[in-house]
Amino acid sequence: MKKTAMPLNVDAKRFDLRRLHCSESGMKGICKAFGLGMLCSFEPEKNVRISHSNFLVYAETSRGRYALKFHPHGSANLHRHEHLLHRLLRQKGVCVPRMFSPPCLPFRHYLVTCHEWLDAAPLYRFPVSRMRHLGITEAIQSFNKTLRSLIHEGLALRRQSFIEKVRQLKDASKACKGNAGARGLLDDCLKAFRDAPADFPLVPLHADLSVSNILCSDRQVFFIDLTHVRHACLQTDMASLLVSCFVQEMPSSALGKILLSGEENASFPRGWKKALAVLIRLEAFGEYLKDAHRLGKTYRGKEVVAFRRELLRHQKKMEYLMKDPLAVLSS
């Protein structure tokens, strides 16, 4: 089968050593189950930063182009909720991709979800000079406002308190041979929370916002990957977006100015910037632990040395960011 070149909004990087065990016949069966038409071509995404549990596959069929995501078993309830959320948000006019039925399809060791393909590119592919004109802040505010209205109409969302977030990171750090000094920052973050808990209110958010999960076209801003939507600390999305910006080596200070100038910020708690710095440190620590986990694995292949060097470089960046996040991001 002839392969089609990957579209712009799939980030192709060299150092992805994962393997997706899906044959052409398997892909044909998946396309048939989702009613997508006859398979013409498919190609897995390659991205060193993507979660090691999920795969994204681009598929082109006789009816169009689609994004197929392969998830681990045991996440069916998450995808049913995500399917409902997609439908409700689209009804409210929010720009999210259509998610096809069934919400998830069992396939070998995976659960597969199917999304329409968007003619858009991830935010990090756009120059900063265009970001303000894209209306990123307004789109995020509109997304969150719609979530709040859906909750008032009866939508139930999970909750993750600041304490729970820290506990998750602490558990993850025990499984990795990471930097002990970096782990110590969790105690500092907890102290900052206990000193001013009112600066960390829980609100409904995307909760996994990054420059990869915001797709932009000339006229619209789309949000993808809604499996983590929940009640979380107010500054969570801003923190994860700025950290992802730093990871992608975008000018995070310019994006930060756009985000921090939003009208809604006037209603934030007085100490919200200090709380933002704390959450940025936690997001950076999460990235640090992911790399520590990957470094602990055994890899094979010609590019292993380059792959490990890339992970170590990324870890150093996260350590640097954790020391003084707001100063680093504004420099």
Let me know: does 329 contact 280? Beta carbons within 8 Å. yes
3-state secondary structure of 213: coil
Kindly tell me if the per-residue pLDDT of 264 is higher than 60. Answer: no
pLDDT higher than threshold 60 for residue 93:
yes
Query: Is the bond preceding residue 201 a cis peptide, omega within 30 degrees?
Result: no
Section 216-231 average pLDDT: 91
H-state helical runs in the chain: 24-34, 76-91, 128-134, 136-152, 162-174, 180-183, 185-195, 236-247, 252-260, 272-295, 304-323, 325-330
From the DSSP assignment, how many helices (H) and strands (E) are in the chain?
12, 11
pLDDT (average), residues 181-199: 87
Q: pLDDT-derived band of residue 12, with 50, 70 and 90 as boundaries?
A: very low
Rg of the chain, C-alpha, whole Å: 20
pLDDT computed for residue 79 by the predictor: 95
Q: Check pLDDT > 60 for residue 30.
A: yes
The answer, yes or no, to whether residue 82 has pLDDT greater than 70, is yes
Tokens 């923190």 label which residue?
Answer: 239
pLDDT digits (tens, 9 = 90+) for 142-183: 999 999 999 999 999 999 999 999 999 988 888 776 555 666
Would you say 46 and 55 are in contact if contact means Cβ atoms under 8 Å apart?
Answer: no
Quick one: pLDDT band at residue 280, thresholds 50, 70, 90?
A: very high
Which pLDDT belongs to residue 202?
95
| Cβ burial 51-81 (10 Å sphere, 16+ → b, else e) | eeebbbbbbbbeeebbbbbbbeeebeebbeb
* Sheet of 202-205, strand order: 158-159, 230-233, 202-205
Count of alpha carbons within 13 Å of 206, Cβ hemisphere only? 26
pLDDT of 6: 44
Q: What are phi and psi of 299, to 5 degrees?
A: -115, 155
Q: Are 128 and 250 in contact (CB under 8 A)?
A: yes
- Check whether 52 has a pLDDT greater than 80: no
Q: What is the mean pLDDT of the chain?
A: 83
Reported confidence tier of residue 303, pLDDT bands at 50, 70, 90: low
What number is the average pLDDT over the span 43-56? 65
In Å, how far are 69, 80, 207, 249 from 77, measured between CA atoms? 15, 5, 18, 35
- CA distance readout (Å), 216 to 46, 96, 130, 136, 238: 20, 11, 11, 9, 18
pTM above 0.85, yes or no: yes
Neighbours of 264 (CB within 10 A): 13
Q: What amino acid is encoded at 256 in this protein?
A: G
Does residue 83 have a pLDDT over 90?
A: yes
Given a cut of 90, whether residue 33 has pLDDT beyond it is yes
Strand partners, 110: 72, 107
Domains, the chain, with CATH or none? 24-119 (3.30.200.20), 122-330 (3.90.1200.10)
